[in-house]
Structure formats: C-alpha cells, structure tokens
Structure 1
Amino acid sequence: MLSHSQNARVSSATSPSRDGREVSRRTNSDTAAPPVQICNTSRGTLAKSAGMPSTGMRERRVNPVGRAATDSVDRATVGGLRLAVLDLEQTANFMVDLVHPQRRVRRPLYLTSANGEVLSRCATEPMTDRLFRAADLINADGQPLVMVSKLRSSKPLPERVATTDLFGVVARKAEELGLTFYMFGANEAENKAAVANVRRAFPALKIVGHCHGYLRGEALRAKVDEINALAPDFLWVALGVPYEQAFVDEYLPRLGNVGAIKTSGGLFNFLSGTLPRAPRWMQIVGLEWAWRLWLEPRRLFWRYLTTNPRALYLLFQQTRPSLTKRD
C-alpha cells in the first residue's frame, strides 16, 4: 500500500453496478476523495462522484489546525492507526472544551472512531485510509483494540469509547452548558425516532435541527448550508464508513460555524431502537460483533469473514509498544 508521502497514480473507471447503474470508482491514497452525494438506492446510502471540486483535507500531522487543537492528547498506534489515549469521560470533556468560543478554530474539529473493520479497510483501501488519517482525533470504538493495546503498549488505551455511549455523556454535559446538537443521517423514520428518544432522555438538550441522510446534489448542498446557518456546537453525522468520512472531507469548508463534527456510524439505529445493543458482557469481552452478526447475518457475514482475520493480524503486527509522538 502506498504511503502518504508517495505519489500515487489515480485510476478512474466507470463500471456497471449490480443493479445496472453506473458507479464511478477512483482509487488513490494522496488525492482527495470523490465528492459525496448521498443517494437513495435499493442498496441504501451510496457515495458517488459528483464532479465537484474536492477539499483535499490533509493528514492531521501536516495539518496545522488539527495539530494545534489536539496536540495535548497522547496517541498510541494500534493496528496501524494513531488512536487517542482517552477514556469515555475524558473524550467527552475534550469535545466540550473544543467548542468553547475561545477554543474555536477556523473550521470544525473532526472526530471519528475506529474498530477492527476500519483497521482492515484502511489497510486495503487507500482512499479510506486517507480519510481516517485526516481526522483530528480517532477514538477506539472496538474492545479488541483496547485489549491488544493492554498487551502490547506501555500506555494502553484506557477503555473503549463507543460512540453510542459517548453521545449520552456529551448530551448530558451539553444540557448543563446549553450546547447545541444537530443530528444528520440514517433514513427518515430512524432519524425522527432517534431525535424523539433523545429529547425524551435529555429534555433540556437543545437540538437545533435534524435530517435523514438520503439527499443528493443541490438538496444536499442546501442542507449543508442550512446546518452551517444553525451553527450547532456538535454535528453528529451517521452515514456509515466511509461515506460519513467522505462527507466531512467534502463539506467541512462549508461548515465553518459548526464547533465539532463527530462521525457516528450506526448510532441512530441504536438511538431509534431499530437495533438493540449487545448485552454488556459481550461488549466487555469484545464480542459485540458476534451480536451484530446474529442480528444481521445476511448483511454482515461476508464483511466480518473478510475483515476480522485481517484486523486481528494488524492488531498484533502494527501495534507499537510505546506512545506515538504528538506529531
């Protein structure tokens, strides 16, 4: 796999998808990701090239804004990615501190999360790897990552920072401080149900807006501008990997009034009640993936069959014993 310091050749092709539509494919580790359109198709949310200029977000270590804002956070290299050595409460406090008016920077701070599937995809998909390395902070949202770091690192990851748990902690703090949320992603029914449940759980929380993720073209760009005008302190983007990361890559420059963006994966599926979370004991021992496989075998069987063995290999081969320098 090409490193970020190497020049990669862009290969572009247009090939028919399984349902007969043409899908533009681009692979390149150094150039920007193709602009994102969130399309309503029979296969769900799909990221497509829209022919718009891309932002070209740079890897955090060569991005002065991201470096300055997150320089105080220790990082450990686990499975090939540099992850924040923060527990759940510390991550929530860090996010709240980031959106303070005196800490605001020229753009939103971009936070994302990694699990075994993400490690595997970053190792085999240069574009996904670039999108994750552009994040200002990456949390470990996978118990196996925490477990291996405890075996191999001098300062291991303190705990798993699951986005579903993080959302609740940040929401509680936002209630107390009067901070605002915008919830973007999932389908319309799940989005509405998630927002309704959050409002019941956190009645004082200010949710300034919400929208499903099935938008494209001018409708999507107009929605991004609407979100920016509402200026939420936290924008939760739940489109799935790597579409939510590509969304941030494309639209971050148009969201200058937003405090922080947190990609959220299947967060709204859980908040809406569409999918139940795994029992606590399965989360603790790192078997939440097995629970999800039991719930959605047709969708997840092949994915886990191909990504889990590779992720296990990466965890033991690309986890450093010492802290990564704050670069």
Structure 2
Amino acid sequence: MSKEDYINQEKILGDNPRIKILNTTIDVLTEQQTVDLVEKYVLRKEPLHLIGVNADKINSLNSNPRIAKIVNSCGVINADGASVVLASKILNVPLPERVAGIDLMQKLIRLSAKKNYSVYFLGAKKRIVEKTAEVIQGQYPELNIVGVHDGYINESEWMEISRELNEVHPDFIFVGITSPLKEYLVEFLQSKGNRGVFMGVGGSFDVISGMISRAPIWMQKMNLEWLYRVIQEPKRLFKRYLVGNVKFIKNVIKEKVS
C-alpha cells in the first residue's frame, strides 16, 4: 500500500498531515506540536476531544463501531504507544514519536499555570483525584483548578457533571476514566454544549497521586513502559499488552501486504 493511501491531508486548525492505521486516524505530531495545536483550540474557545491511541485502543476500535466513530472524529489523535509508532514504520508512514498521555498532560498543566488557563480533574476514586489536584497545586500554586470530581458516576449523573462544567467553564478537563466509558461520557458532555479541551489521561491520576509508580526513565526511553505496567499488574494487564500487542502487529502486517 502506498504512502498516499494512508495520509489524509485534511487540516484541523493546523498544518499537520494525518495517517490511518487499521482504520484509525492518527495525527503526525510531536508532543510540542500537539501542545501548540491544542492551545489554538483554547484561544479560539473551540471544543476539542484530545485522545491518545495505543494498540489496545485500536484493537477495540475495530470491534466497536461506536468507539471507532468517536475516536476518528476527535480533533487531535496522538500515538500513545510504542507499538503504534512501530506500526507506522512498518507501513512506511513513520510517526515522529510516541506522545505519552501523562507527559502531555503535565505539559498542558504547565502551560495552563503559565497562561492562566483553568483546569478540571474528573476521574478515579475520590481520594485519588483529590490527591492528584493537591500534588499538582503544590507544584503550580498559581494554577487555577476550578473543580475536582471522582469518576465513579453512573449515566444518570452525567447531566449533573455537565451542569457543573458549564458553570465553571474550564479550559481543560482531564478525564481519568477507563474506556469505553470515558469516550461515551465526553461525547455526551460535548453534545450538551460543554466546551474546553477534554483529554483522556488513563491512569495518570494514579501515578501523580503516588498510588502507583511510573517506569524508570531508562524504560521510558526504551519504549518499555508497557512492560513495567504488566509487571505491576500482571493479572489485569498481561492479556491487554502482550496478547493485544501481538494481535495488533499481526493485523498491521496483514494490512501492509493486503
């Protein structure tokens, strides 16, 4: 398959091309380019669903049409997985780098503290998300945190969250809720007129709050952060990362030769 088959030159408030891997659209962006592009949405008061995709997300996307529609309609879609970057190289449309969700989140928080953008934390257990806000406020005393809410909410409570967000108007809403519930919730909140940048941050609240540790720098640099997570929670993550990554790469190879 030629490079032209993968690249979609449609621009989303920027000048970056987009590629497709296994029916998933991905922006060709570095971490800093992502920050610069996302800030344009903030300055223009444009709503944005910022999402990162890894092998597990792409696998689920190809078996869940609703998730596929939500993900591919996001304004910014990053490659948050070493296997996705590897796949782009196999398909001859190399992505510049992995954009790790927790690193991107922390850069956007630094930007918010510097530019006086407001933030809201939504997700995880109450004590964890509150500890996350406490840790971040300690790092950036000037940061405007306009709200905190745990992620243990059922669908009947979504409207309450929507009303609260519409009252405080955060520039960034960091969402630490597992997929696909996170995607469904963000879709609902945006449909109710909630603006701002919604960013799914996975387990970042657990790391920032100190509940779990992040992989050592040398493992991050060698793209082995996933292995560290498997070692931490083998029963929960073995199938997702090891089995899922093998399935993903096999499908990528099939796509290349098809």
- Structure 1 and Structure 2 fold alike (TM over 0.5): yes
Cα gap change, 1:197 to 1:90, in 2 (>3 Å): same
Query: Using CA pairs below 8 Å that are at least 6 residues apart, which structure has the higher relative contact order?
Result: 1
1:111–1:263 Cα contact (<8 Å) kept: yes
For residues 307 and 148 of structure 1, the distance between their equivalents in structure 2, rounded to whole angstroms, comes to 14
**CA distance in 2: counterparts of 1:201 and 1:278, whole angstroms:** 21
Matched with 1:53 is: none
Moved more, 223-232 or 122-131: 122-131
Q: Which residue of 66, 82, 85 corresponds with 1:143?
A: 82
In 1, the alpha carbon distance for the partners of 2:132 and 2:210 equals 8
- Whether the aligned pair in 1 keeps the contact of 2:18 and 2:28 (CA below 8 Å) is yes
User: Match of 1:289, as an amino acid?
Assistant: W
RMSD: 2.2
Separation in 2, partners of 1:253, 1:115: 26
Distance in 1 (CA, whole Å) between partners of 2:233 and 2:216 is 16
Aligned twin of 1:198 = 136
Number of the residue aligned with 1:73: 16
Matches within 5 A, 1:11-160: 69-70=12-13, 72-100=15-43, 103-105=44-46, 108-154=47-93, 156-160=94-98
**Structure 2 vs 1, CA of residues 230 and 319 (structure 1 numbering), >3 Å: closer, same or farther?**
farther
**The residue matched to 1:210 in structure 2 has which SS?**
strand
Aligned to 2:162: 224
User: Match of 2:240?
Assistant: 303
Structure 2: gaps spanning 5 or more residues: 1-7
TM-superposed deviation, 1:245? 0.6
Residues 175 and 198 in structure 2, CA contact (< 8 A), matched pair in contact too: yes
Aligned residues: 249
- Give the distance between the partners of 2:112 and 2:220, measured in 1 at CA: 26
Larger-gyration structure (1/2): 1
Q: Quote the offset at 1:143 in angstroms.
A: 1.5
SS across alignment from 2:226: helix
